[in-house]
């Protein structure tokens, strides 16, 4: 879907993804952060950004918070005056910059609130993944040809601060577009992405609000297949993004134990092995997106043999997401194939099959916890296809 920054039903306790309880807060004491951003000090005062040694990541995506997907936020999109528009770019062009900035400020302030973070914690979740666009760094936007809302960084800081206060680990995913287009795989676009990643790295390490941000994903859902674009991404973009993030951390004198995890889509995504050209993989991590509604693995959606509740359960019970390590299943849902989700009486209406969906959820997360955990897509949804479909909404 996009690229992001990263921060269960039936689970009573939290597992700490980057050990927020171990953080020494003295480095932040007596600082007026809005006026004077923190500079890192001695290593013993820095954040410990480790992946869990025993527990699993169990989290949710903040879909449509900073990268809006109209299909899953239809009422919100219309309320913003964006009905009929396909993207932020299109709606800002329609509304004009000043009006767009105003309606987006309202959206950013209300789509995810402190109460949402509290509710996530009460559910036993311990992580959030936040998709953000490169346009969050406003000087990277080509003002003569690109149109995006301004002012989002203050709201990202607020959400990360709430999550850190609650002890939630946070992951940030960079969305270079709603999905990287063929035009992304060129040097000058890579350079924009590197500058964004450097900027975000500096903010994470120098602002108390981001103290539980432990992972930065360098691109979300890139092109698939073996071609010149995916080869360029693996050969040039991944290694250079890695070096630029680490150089930014070196400039801040960040010790190895306090570096960010750098995340890439795993081999199962279909863009090749992201590790292929890396010369360093210390604190590397990998992202897997598992939407069985669009899969035909083991004939799960083949007419005649698949597309049954038993087929979906069987696939999840035997699902192996291993390969690149460590892998987090960063997106999945409870939605079944389009031709089943509202018309097949074995799956619809979903309120009549709650027991089955509970079993399928349990089967999925059991499979994903054979890796380092899971992040459901998404925390909330807002009228999908004219319906309030909880199969996409953990809330």
Sorted by sequence, the CB contacts under 8 Å of residue 263 that are 6+ apart come out as 6, 171, 173, 215, 216, 217, 218, 284, 285, 286, 287, 328, 330
Residues 218/263, Cβ–Cβ less than 8 Å: yes
CB distance 335 to 360 below 8 Å: no
Q: How far apart are CA 392 and CA 73, in angstroms?
A: 11
Cα–Cα distance measured from residue 3 to residue 223, given in angstroms and rounded to the nearest whole number? 12
State the Cα–Cα distance between residues 119 and 99, nearest whole angstrom. Answer: 32
Task: Identify which of 176, 328, 181, 168 has the alpha carbon closest to the alpha carbon of residue 263.
Answer: 328
The dihedral through the CA atoms of 137, 193, 49, 170 has a sign that is positive
- H helices of the chain, in order, are 74-79, 88-95, 97-111, 114-122, 153-166, 187-206, 228-232, 238-251, 309-317, 354-368
Q: Which of 76, 198, 221, 249 is catalytic?
A: 221
**Does residue 198 carry a catalytic annotation?**
no
Cα–Cα distance between 84 and 86 in angstroms, integer?
Answer: 7
d(CA 49, CA 215): 8
One of 174, 249, 315, 331 is an active-site residue; which one? Answer: 331
Q: Which regions of the chain does DSSP assign to beta strands (E)?
A: 4-6, 57-61, 127-133, 169-175, 213-217, 261-265, 284-289, 327-331, 373-376
SS3 97: helix
Establish whether 331 is a catalytic residue. yes
List residues with catalytic annotation: 221, 331
């Amino acid at each position: 879907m996009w690229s992001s920054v990263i921060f269960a039903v039936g689970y009573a306790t939290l597992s700490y993804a980057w050990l927020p309880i171990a953080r020494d807060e003295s480095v932040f004491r007596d600082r007026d952060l809005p006026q004077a951003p923190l500079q890192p000090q001695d290593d013993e005062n820095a954040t410990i950004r480790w992946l869990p040694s025993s527990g699993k990541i169990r989290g949710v995506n903040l879909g449509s918070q900073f990268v809006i997907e109209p299909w899953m936020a239809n009422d919100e999109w219309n309320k913003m005056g964006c009905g009929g528009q396909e993207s932020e770019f299109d709606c800002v062009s329609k509304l004009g910059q000043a009006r767009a900035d105003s309606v987006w400020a309202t959206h950013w302030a209300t789509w995810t609130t402190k109460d949402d973070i509290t509710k996530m914690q009460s559910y036993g979740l311990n992580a959030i993944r936040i998709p953000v666009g490169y346009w969050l760094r406003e000087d990277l936007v080509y003002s003569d040809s690109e149109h995006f809302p301004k002012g989002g960084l203050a709201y990202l800081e607020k959400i990360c601060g709430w999550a850190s206060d609650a002890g939630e680990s946070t992951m940030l995913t960079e969305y270079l577009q709603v999905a990287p287009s063929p035009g992304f795989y060129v040097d000058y676009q890579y350079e924009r992405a590197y500058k964004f990643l450097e900027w975000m790295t500096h903010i994470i390490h120098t602002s108390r609000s981001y103290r539980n941000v432990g992972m930065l994903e360098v691109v979300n859902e890139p092109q698939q297949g073996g071609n010149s674009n995916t080869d360029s991404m693996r050969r040039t973009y991944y290694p250079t993004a890695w070096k630029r993030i680490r150089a930014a951390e070196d400039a801040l004198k960040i010790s190895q134990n306090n570096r960010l995890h750098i995340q890439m889509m795993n081999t199962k995504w279909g863009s090749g092995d992201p590790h292929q050209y890396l010369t360093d993989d210390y604190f590397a991590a990998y992202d897997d997106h598992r939407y069985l509604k669009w899969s035909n693995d083991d004939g799960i959606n083949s007419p005649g043999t698949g597309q049954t509740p038993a087929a979906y359960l069987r696939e999840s019970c035997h699902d192996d997401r291993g390969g690149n390590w460590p892998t987090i299943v960063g997106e999945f849902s409870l939605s079944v194939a389009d031709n089943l989700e509202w018309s097949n009486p074995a799956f619809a209406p979903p309120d009549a099959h709650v027991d089955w969906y509970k079993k399928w959820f349990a089967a999925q997360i059991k499979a994903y916890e054979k890796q380092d955990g899971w992040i459901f897509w998404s925390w909330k949804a807002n009228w999908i296809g004219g319906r309030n479909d909880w199969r996409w909404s953990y809330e």
